[in-house]
Amino acid sequence: MEAMQENEFSLQPVLSHKERLEDICQMELAEVEGAYFQECRRLELLREIERLEYEELQHQHDRADLDLGTIGVCFNDLNATQRRIELQLLLLQDLAEKVQRKRAQLIEISKDKKALEKLKEEHRKRIARAINRAEIKIADDIVTSQSYRLRMFEASTG
């Protein structure tokens, strides 16, 4: 039982923890990226609304029966949409920074996990070499013992 514990990788709990952290971080990254792309789509829609409002403003301006009240409403709508676009751009900038931070965090966790996996593999190789040496020693001991018995048998019969 004691020899079995010596063969266990002592940092396995840390490696398991890093694996869980990596999984969680990957899910969080996917969520933040999903939010970013959803907000990009919202920006595209706002820009389309801005284009349509601008066309409507041009249309109202080009009409023969110029209605300043309608032009004012169109102008206000266009200004409001442009403010929403500015806010959306700020939101996207914030989300892009969050994506970048989460990616950096995932890279660090992955590096730590890979280092631990490398240590685990080296540990496994050391154990395999130790087992191989022990098997060779046992085989040598068996050969030596058989040789000794054979010599003793030959000496007693000879």
Tokens matching residue 51:
């284009």
- Confidence band (pLDDT; 50, 70, 90) for 6? low
- Residue 44 is classified by DSSP as H
pTM: 0.73
According to the model, what pLDDT value does residue 5 have? 58
The H or E element spanning position 157 is: helix 68-157
- Provide the 10 A C-beta neighbour count for residue 53: 19
Assigned CATH topology for domain 12-157: Helix Hairpins (1.10.287)
Per-residue pLDDT tens digits for 80-109? 999 999 999 999 999 999 999 999 999 999
pLDDT at 110 over 90: yes
The residues spanned by each domain of the chain are: 12-157
Per-residue pLDDT tens digits for 27-74? 999 999 999 999 999 999 999 999 999 999 898 888 878 788 888 999
